[in-house]
Structure 1
Amino acid sequence: MDFGAYGRLLQDPRIRHLLAVGFIARFPHTAAGVILTLHVALTLGLGYGQAGLAGAAMTLGIAVGSPWRGRVVDAKGLRRALLPSVIAEAVIWPIVPWLPFWPMLLAVFLGGVFSLPIFSVVRQGLGVLTHGKDRQTAFALDSIVTETIFMMGPALGAVVAATWSSALGLTIVGLSSALGGILLMWFNPPTRSSQLAVVGPATEDPYTEEQDRQEAIAQAVTAAPMHVEMAAPSLATGALPAITEAIPLVTGSLPVIAADGSGPTTAPRRARAERLRQWRRSHFSWVGSEVLGVLVVSMAAGIVMVGTEVSMVAELESQGAAASVGLVYAFWCGASAVGGLFYGAWGRQVHPYLLMALFAVATVPLALVDGVWALALASIPSGLLTAPTLASASSRLSHLVVEERRGEAMGFYGSAMTAGAAMGAPLAGVFIDGMAPSAGYVFAAAAGFVLVLLAALATVARGRRSA
């Protein structure tokens, strides 16, 4: 294990600044969820059901906006892409607490749509600034930073909402998010390798596109439980130019017989089908079976993490120890930070399918214990696998997707995790309310394991068909 890899990465001022700005910009929205919940449930007195609806509106907005914001970063550049988010953050969140419930839902949804695409920007920047094993280490380091934020943000948000007011808390969320966006615009980290010559020092000798392609293929083959002929074709390398212009259609007099034998297809029908294929090639050429599998891993991780979180709160409340939630979270998130640290220092890639399966299995022991300290200790195995799973999935996606579409891909990665989180909380709640808090852990673990199993089977089947 090479712990010195972290020090070498942090010697690069661009990486230091990117992680620092990412920490500042991510922090407000880690507190937004708990503040919004307390505002609706307690300040407005509408209960936790409608508070969950408000949280779902924000989650849906983030899921809708993240890929779009990532695409704008790819097409327009970082500064132009962030400007609408900075304005929206500063305007929407300070007015949210003063709106009636239903208009507030719309405002919260819009706040999610225009939220800073900080997750995808940081990961995209790290993907450009690092290569080979350093990229895996950088993603692991970013996961550690993220875990630290999630340990501190919700607790601080609860303190602000309980000590002062939820309205003040939501206002702080909006203004501090806008400040984080301004800092990110000022720093303007590179999102493409072509920007390194301008941003980086003159003596830097970055990988060429071909070297990076070969490194990506080598790591994919090393990491994946499959052969090179299965892994290499699914890699989006950017080696060939994308065809975006219309392809002439053959519309002669000879009929084309449909595959099902139903008769000739018409020229307009062929034209529509061809236009659809062209649209898919121009917009989603980067999507392959393994990319979809990584997105499924992201969704499964979201379900397991949020389902576990809700179950922890429910279990401690049922034992009259709700005040000890912070202690259990500290063990859980702290273990994740340690796991990410060791995974990054290890310097070897482990396939996200395997890590996600182990992560799901490690969640089951939480259902078998009672008491604060027993729960805290039982959370350690699950925590140790959290950050490595996320780091492995993001690194894998970065290798699989061509640089020009990496921002969009990372946006979908974040949206998949957000969608999993949006499903995990209410579904785990159904099992908790209908059975017991321990059932929430079992649901989260089972859902995560089944999803990654299906993703792995689909990837293997696709690889066999392509062989």
Structure 2
Amino acid sequence: MVGPPIVILCAAQLPSGVVAWGVGAAIVAGGAGIALLNPPLRAEDEAPAAPADRPRRREWLGPRMIAVLVMAFGATIVLNGTDLAIVATLKEAGQVSWAAVVVAVYGAASIAGGLLYGALPRPLPTWLLLGLLGLVTIPAGLAHDWRWLCVAGCGAGLLAAPTLSALSDAVSRLAPASVRGEATGLQSSALGAGFALGVPIVGGAIDTSGPAGGFATAGLAGLAAALMGWLLSRRSPIRTLRSDPSFIGASDAR
């Protein structure tokens, strides 16, 4: 959440090449830090499995896990596309200098949303969070200056962190401890694919129909991914849904 405003501020003050190298160095440093810290991938009550006990991929990479990966892909298209559409809107209004403020408001709203979501007695369905995120992103195209973008960013930001949190939680629930590293790697690949494709997809929409088209495209991508995730999830056996009602929703579990 703090990355985009920092990069925007640096890009306004420093050569683009320096900023690009700085971002790359930050990514490498973050990866090295995770490698050094080596956080555990299983809970204390989950005994480490022997290589012979490792489940076959088809046993855990089923419709529900694929649904999570699809939704992770869609979520990052929404988030990355929103950043791009915000800059395009401000550029059209001649207010690019306010980009960091708008993205900072979005990030603050996301942090608040994450805290509120963490306080809920039970998690919400992942597809519902992503669908709402996509739905509230579309009207942001009606904003034509930085003030209204801040208002729109508050609504979308409240759902950003909860959606990403729900995706990670779903992966950890669906993947056995012995393959959780592989599962989180697949999740990271889905997130990266969304970031990589989000820019050309939303950028093409902005070139064709303006910033409003960018917000609409990003939001519709989120809605489409949420729908696909919901449909894939419904293919799972009823007994599996009951074991993890948080992913589908209480109504489906019943």
Interval of TM-score (by shorter of Structure 1 and Structure 2): 0.7 to 0.9
Residue identity in the other structure for 2:17: S
Match of 1:426? 200
Superposed displacement of residue 192, structure 1: 4.2
List alignment gaps of at least 5 residues for structure 1. 1-146, 194-205, 210-236, 244-280
1:154 and 2:7 aligned? yes
Match of 1:207? 45
1:398 and 2:172 aligned? yes
What secondary structure, in the 3-state scheme, does the structure 2 residue paired with 1:346 have? coil
Match of 2:62? 288
What CA deviation, in whole Å up to 9, does each residue of 1:199-229 have, x standing for no partner? xxxxxxx4355xxxxxxxxxxxxxxxxxxxx
What CA deviation, in whole Å up to 9, does each residue of 1:344-375 have, x standing for no partner? 12242111111001111111220122211011
Instruction: Please give the residue correspondences for 1:353-392 in structure 2 after superposition, counting only pairs within 5 Å.
Output: 353-392=127-166
Is the 8 Å Cα contact of residues 160 and 169 (structure 1) preserved in structure 2? no
The 1:352–1:317 alpha-carbon spacing in structure 2 relative to 1, beyond 3 Å, is same
What secondary structure, in the 3-state scheme, does the structure 2 residue paired with 1:285 have? helix
Superposed displacement of residue 321, structure 1: 0.7
Residue identity in the other structure for 1:447: A
Is the 8 Å Cα contact of residues 81 and 199 (structure 2) preserved in structure 1? yes
Superposed displacement of residue 460, structure 1: 1.1
Residue identity in the other structure for 1:170: W
The 1:400–1:334 alpha-carbon spacing in structure 2 relative to 1, beyond 3 Å, is same
Superposed displacement of residue 172, structure 1: 8.2
2:103 to 309, 319, 329: 329
2:39 to 161, 186, 189: 189
For residues 322 and 444 of structure 1, the distance between their equivalents in structure 2, rounded to whole angstroms, comes to 20
Is the 8 Å Cα contact of residues 74 and 194 (structure 2) preserved in structure 1? yes
Is the 8 Å Cα contact of residues 126 and 166 (structure 2) preserved in structure 1? yes
Match of 1:218? none
Match of 1:301? 75
For residues 349 and 405 of structure 1, the distance between their equivalents in structure 2, rounded to whole angstroms, comes to 24
The 1:415–1:153 alpha-carbon spacing in structure 2 relative to 1, beyond 3 Å, is farther
The 1:181–1:316 alpha-carbon spacing in structure 2 relative to 1, beyond 3 Å, is closer
Superposed displacement of residue 327, structure 1: 1.1
Work out which structure has the larger RCO, using CA pairs closer than 8 Å and 6 or more positions apart in sequence. 2
List alignment gaps of at least 5 residues for structure 2. 242-254
How many residues are treated as equivalent by the alignment? 238
Superposed displacement of residue 330, structure 1: 1.0
Residue identity in the other structure for 1:339: G
Superposed displacement of residue 425, structure 1: 1.1
Instruction: Please give the residue correspondences for 1:158-169 in structure 2 after superposition, counting only pairs within 5 Å.
Output: 158=11, 161-162=14-15, 166-167=17-18
Q: Which has the larger radius of gyration?
A: 1
What CA deviation, in whole Å up to 9, does each residue of 1:207-253 have, x standing for no partner? 355xxxxxxxxxxxxxxxxxxxxxxxxxxx99x9347xxxxxxxxxx
What secondary structure, in the 3-state scheme, does the structure 2 residue paired with 1:349 have? coil
State the superposition RMSD in angstroms. Answer: 2.8
